[in-house]
Structure 1
Amino acid sequence: MRTKFHEQLDALTDRLTSMCRLAGAAIEAATDAVVHADLRAAEWVFDLTEQIEAVRGPCDEQALALLALQAPVARELRQVITGVHLVTDLSRMGGLAQHVAESVRRRHPAHVSSGEAQQLLERIGRVAGEMAAVAARVLATRDPGLAAELDRRDDDLDALHAMLLGRIQDPGWTGGVTAAVDVTLLGRFYERFGDHTVVVGRRVIFLATGAQPPR
């Protein structure tokens, strides 16, 4: 009986890892769309987020079935509850990537940003994509050391985000109000995406050790 439980738990982990990889692909495609004003890349983001939500349903159902039918205890219960929370985190990551793509679609064929602001957005987007890739490996391996790496990368993303906001607030900004609003929102979407990857890492540390990591 417990063997079947652990097989089902492994299947849940595989689905969660798939959701994370899809979210990473979505934020990368969204960044391509921002940089190139690429409507096709933006539309691909919507396809990817649909795939994320398609995986979410079976994850929710499997987690509820494990709770209701397998009577998990101690560490097993922690694994299932963590999985339930992770489903929400990963779905939100997909949603944030979609928000970025929506900004591109709204301004197409024009770019949503230009110059240094666009360069910073690209750097932020690539860091976010790297963080999603690390988070997927964390989910697959449950490696607390790798999970802790996400905090360091999030510091890098936050530093770039601060630079972006500084650029917008600079008296020399010539991009106009509309571009400033767009860039501010895009920066916030990327920042929240990175935050969710950190939460994924923290949940995995809790799963592996039973202790909440220090903030």
Structure 2
Amino acid sequence: MRTKFSSELAALTEELAGLASLAQESTERVAVAVTEANLTAAYEVFAIDEQLRQRHGACENRAVILLALEAPVARDLRQVVSAMQIGDDLAQMSWLTSRIADRVVHHYPAPVAPADIISVLGEIGHATAELAAVAQRAIAAHNPAADDPPVLPDRTLADARQRLLQSVSDPDWPHGHVMAVDLALLVHHYERCAEHCVRIGRLIRFFHTGLPLSAQTPED
């Protein structure tokens, strides 16, 4: 019985790693879609979102069955609960990137912003994709070192976000209120993606140490 349970836990972990790879790929493709006004990349983001949602459902079902039928305890219980929450975070990241891709499609063939703003969006998109890659590697690491750092907030991302928001809120902003609101929303979507990545790191720390998220600090 224990062998079967361990096998199911391993399968759950593999499914979660697959979801993380899809979410990370989505952040990469949406960055291309935004910076290049690339319609193909935008539709790839939609396809990834659909695939991730289907696989998330299967992952969630496996986790629920493990909870309901196997009654895991201690570390095993933490693994299943963490996996369910991480899966939700990854699904939210995919949904957010698909909303960003929506704006690319809406504006096509024009870019979503002027060239100087596109360059800042490129910084934000690249930093978000890097953060998603860190989260993906953390999920895929079966036996991480005890002192491995969690997924920490990215200062580059925060600085670029602040610069963009200052630009669109400037009284002399020349591109109209509609574009300003659009860009603020895009930045918010990217920010939420980054927050989900950081939360994933904290969930992984909870799984390995038992330290609740509420007791963790950003520097832990």
Q: Aligning the two structures, in what range does the TM-score lie when normalised by the shorter sequence?
A: over 0.9
Query: Is the 8 Å Cα contact of residues 124 and 157 (structure 1) preserved in structure 2?
Result: yes
What letter matches 1:13 in structure 2? T
**After the TM superposition, which residues 95-110 of structure 1 pair with which residues of structure 2 at under 5 Å, given as runs?**
95-110=95-110
* Pairwise CA distance, 1:171: 3.2
Per mean C-alpha deviation after superposition, the further-off stretch among 161-170 and 202-211 is 161-170
1:214 corresponds to which residue? 217
* Pairwise CA distance, 1:147: 4.6
1:66 corresponds to which residue? 66
**After the TM superposition, which residues 91-170 of structure 1 pair with which residues of structure 2 at under 5 Å, given as runs?**
91-141=91-141, 143=144, 145-148=147-150, 150-153=151-154, 155-170=155-170
* Pairwise CA distance, 1:131: 0.8
Looking at secondary structure, tell me which structure has more helix per residue. 1
* Pairwise CA distance, 1:22: 0.7
* Pairwise CA distance, 1:152: 4.0
Aligned residue pair count:
213
What letter matches 1:151 in structure 2? L
Alpha-carbon distance in 2 for matches of 1:176, 1:115: 15
Query: Is the 8 Å Cα contact of residues 21 and 136 (structure 1) preserved in structure 2?
Result: yes
Alpha-carbon distance in 2 for matches of 1:13, 1:147: 20
What letter matches 1:163 in structure 2? R
What letter matches 1:55 in structure 2? R
1:199 corresponds to which residue? 199
Query: Is the 8 Å Cα contact of residues 153 and 198 (structure 2) preserved in structure 1?
Result: no
* Pairwise CA distance, 1:177: 1.8
Q: Aligned with 1:103: secondary structure?
A: helix
In the TM superposition, structure 1's runs of 4+ consecutive aligned residues that sit over 3 Å from their partners are 142-147
Alpha-carbon distance in 2 for matches of 1:32, 1:57: 28
Alpha-carbon distance in 2 for matches of 1:152, 1:184: 20
What letter matches 1:33 in structure 2? A
* Pairwise CA distance, 1:123: 0.5
Unaligned stretches of 5+ residues in structure 2: none
Percent identity, aligned pairs only, is: 38
Query: Is the 8 Å Cα contact of residues 113 and 182 (structure 1) preserved in structure 2?
Result: no
Unaligned stretches of 5+ residues in structure 1: none
Provide closer, same or farther for how the CA distance between residues 146 and 100 of structure 1 changes in structure 2, counting only shifts above 3 A: farther
Alpha-carbon distance in 1 for matches of 2:64, 2:99: 29
* Pairwise CA distance, 1:146: 4.4
* Pairwise CA distance, 1:170: 2.2
* Pairwise CA distance, 1:111: 1.1
Query: Is the 8 Å Cα contact of residues 134 and 146 (structure 1) preserved in structure 2?
Result: no
Alpha-carbon distance in 1 for matches of 2:148, 2:36: 32
Provide closer, same or farther for how the CA distance between residues 75 and 185 of structure 1 changes in structure 2, counting only shifts above 3 A: same
